[in-house]
Amino acid sequence: MSVNRVHARIAGTGSYLPGEPITNDDLVARGIKTSDEWIFARTGIRARHLAESGVSASDLAVRAAQQALAAAGRAPDDIDLIIVATSTPDYIFPSTASLVQARLGIGNGGAAFDVQAVCCGFVYALNIAEKFIRTGANQRALVIGAEVFSRILDWNDRGTCVLFGDGAGAVVLEAADRPGLLASVLHADGSHHGILCVPGQIAGGRVTGDPFLRMDGQAVFRFAVKVLSEVAGEVMTAAGVSAASVDWLVPHQANIRIIQSTAKKLGLAMDKVVAMVDRHGNTSAASIPLALDHAVRSGQIQPGQRVLVEGVGGGFTWGAALFDF
Ligand code: ACO
C-alpha cells in the first residue's frame, strides 16, 4: 500500500544552554546599575545564560541538534535540510547552518541555510522547513534557533542588557503520513524597523554605524502584545480549531507580562503556557525551541497534544504555528 507522506511532524526536540545561570544579582555584582527587583517586576526574568567568549552560535546549535537527533532516534546522515534561525551568526558567511552541517559530519548533504527574522526566526524556519517537506523535496530537517545575543548587547545600556541571554533549541521535522503541523502564518512590517534594531554593518574593513541592540521598549511592548494575540487567532482560524483545543501555548520568551497578556486575550489559563523567561531571559530565535524542549523533557507536553507556538521580533516580523506533537 502506498503511503501519502505529505505531512510534517516534529520527531524530536533538543536544546543547549551555555554555562551556569547568571542571576540578576550577578549582573549587579558585575557593575550594572540595576536590581533583581526592577528586572523581575518588569520582565519576570531572574537569570540568563551567557556564552563564554569564543563560544559561537554554531557551538550551541550543534549541541541542541545532537539532542534533537537522539530524541528522534535519527543519525546526522538522515538529515537532508538544515535551517538555522539566528541574528548572531558565527560569520557574515558561510551560514551557521553550513557550519552545523559540517560539525555534524554530514558530507555532501542537502540544503543548509540561515534565516534572519530575529525573535520570530524559529517560527519562520519551521514554516519554511514544513514547505520543503510537504513538496516532497526533503524528508527530514533540522530546524534550529541559536543565538549569542550577549555579543550584540551594550553592557552600558541597562535598559537592554538585562533582558537577553544565549542558547539554542532544535527540532527534527520529518515527513509523515498524518498531520503534525496543522497551520502556520508569517508576517512582517518593515516600517517598524527603528524600534528594535542593531543599526550597524561592516564596510571597508570597519564596523560602521552602531553594532549594539537598540530598542524602544515601550513601543516594542505595545506592538508585541497586539500582534501576538492577532496571529494566534489567525493560525487557529487557518487550522479550523478553537483555543479550547490547544493544550499548550509556547510563546516567544521576551517578557512575562507580554506572555500573560497574550494568554489572557486568547482565554488560555497560565497553566497551559510554557514560560521559561525567568530562567532563560530573551534568547531571541532560540527562545521557542528552548522552551518547547524543556516542556517536552519535563513531561509537560505529551505525545498527541496540540501546541501553539508564536513569536515576534525585530523587522518587525511575527508569526505562529500550530502542531500536534
Ligand atoms: N534597572 C533599573 N532601572 C532601569 C533599568 C534597569 N535595568 N533599565 C531602565 N531603568 C530605569 C530607566 O532609566 C528609567 O528611569 P527614569 O524614570 O529615572 O528615567 C526607568 O527605569 C523606567 O524606564 P523605562 O524604559 O520607561 O521602563 P519600562 O517600564 O518601559 O520597562 C522594559 C522597560 C522592561 C524594557 C519594558 O519596556 C519592556 O518590557 N518592553 C518590552 C520589550 C521587550 O520585551 N523586548 C525584548 C526584545 S523584543 C522581542 O523579543 C519581541
pLDDT at 107: 84
Q: Is residue 44 part of a domain?
A: yes
End of a domain among 118, 152, 178? 178
Question: Which triple of cell numbers denotes residue 27?
Answer: 549582573
What values do phi and psi take at 90, rounded to 5? -60, -45
Q: Indicate if 290 and 272 belong to the same structural domain.
A: yes
Q: Is residue 186 part of a domain?
A: yes
147: buried, middle or exposed (CB in 10 Å: 19+, 13-18, 0-12)? buried
Q: Indicate if 105 and 148 belong to the same structural domain.
A: yes
Q: Compute the distance from residue 131 Cα to the ligand 1 centre, in Å.
A: 38
Q: Compute the distance from residue 183 Cα to the ligand 1 centre, in Å.
A: 34
Q: Indicate if 29 and 156 belong to the same structural domain.
A: yes
Q: Is residue 161 part of a domain?
A: yes
Q: Indicate if 87 and 220 belong to the same structural domain.
A: no
What values do phi and psi take at 129, rounded to 5? -60, -40
Q: Is residue 317 part of a domain?
A: yes
Q: Compute the distance from residue 315 Cα to the ligand 1 centre, in Å.
A: 20
Q: Compute the distance from residue 159 Cα to the ligand 1 centre, in Å.
A: 5
Q: Compute the distance from residue 145 Cα to the ligand 1 centre, in Å.
A: 25
Q: Is residue 53 part of a domain?
A: yes
Question: Which residues are near ligand 1 (CB < 6 Å)?
Answer: 34, 38-39, 42-43, 119, 158-159, 162-163, 196, 215, 217-218, 220-221, 224, 252, 254-255, 282, 312-313
Q: Indicate if 134 and 174 belong to the same structural domain.
A: yes
| Model confidence pLDDT, tens digit, residues 228-258 | 999 999 999 999 999 999 999 999 999 999 9
Q: Is residue 1 part of a domain?
A: no
Question: Which triple of cell numbers denotes residue 237?
Answer: 482560524
244 Cβ neighbours under 8 A, 6+ residues apart: none
Q: Indicate if 188 and 209 belong to the same structural domain.
A: yes
Shortest-distance atom of ligand 1 to CA 158 = 7
**Spatial separation of the C-alpha atoms in residues 258 and 251, rounded to whole Å:** 9
Q: Compute the distance from residue 265 Cα to the ligand 1 centre, in Å.
A: 23
pLDDT at 88: 98
pLDDT at 108: 85
Q: Is residue 285 part of a domain?
A: yes
Domain range spanning residue 16? 7-178
The protein residue whose alpha carbon is closest to atom 21 in ligand 1 is 159
Q: Indicate if 244 and 319 belong to the same structural domain.
A: yes
Q: Indicate if 163 and 215 belong to the same structural domain.
A: no
* pTM score of the predicted model: 0.96
Q: Indicate if 186 and 317 belong to the same structural domain.
A: yes
The protein residue whose alpha carbon is closest to atom 37 in ligand 1 is 217
**Spatial separation of the C-alpha atoms in residues 301 and 288, rounded to whole Å:** 14
DSSP 234-263: HHHHHHT--GGG--EEEE--S-HHHHHHHH
Q: Indicate if 121 and 206 belong to the same structural domain.
A: no
| Model confidence pLDDT, tens digit, residues 260-270 | 999 999 999 99
From 43, 156, 198, give the residue whose CB has the most ligand 1 atoms within 8 Å, as the site to mutate.
43
End of a domain among 145, 178, 211? 178
The protein residue whose alpha carbon is closest to atom 42 in ligand 1 is 217
Q: Indicate if 173 and 189 belong to the same structural domain.
A: no
The protein residue whose alpha carbon is closest to atom 48 in ligand 1 is 313
- Written as tens digits, the pLDDT of the chain (325 aa) is 444 568 999 999 999 999 999 999 999 999 999 999 999 999 999 999 999 999 999 999 999 999 999 999 999 999 999 999 999 999 999 999 999 999 999 988 899 999 999 999 999 999 999 999 999 999 999 999 999 999 999 999 999 999 999 999 999 999 999 999 999 999 999 999 999 999 999 999 999 999 999 999 999 999 999 999 999 999 999 999 999 999 999 999 999 999 999 999 999 999 999 999 999 999 999 999 999 999 999 999 999 999 999 999 999 999 999 999 9
Q: Is residue 2 part of a domain?
A: no
End of a domain among 178, 196, 226? 178
Domain count, the chain: 2
Which SS3 state, helix, strand or coil, does residue 265 take? helix
Shortest-distance atom of ligand 1 to CA 284 = 50
**Spatial separation of the C-alpha atoms in residues 98 and 13, rounded to whole Å:** 20
Question: Which triple of cell numbers denotes residue 146?
Answer: 541559536
Question: Which triple of cell numbers denotes residue 217?
Answer: 521598549
Provide the annotated active-site residues.
119, 252, 282
Q: Indicate if 68 and 136 belong to the same structural domain.
A: yes
Shortest-distance atom of ligand 1 to CA 42 = 34
Element (H, E) at 307: strand 306-313
CATH of the domain at 164: 3.40.47.10
From 37, 163, 228, 284, give the residue whose CB has the most ligand 1 atoms within 8 Å, as the site to mutate.
163
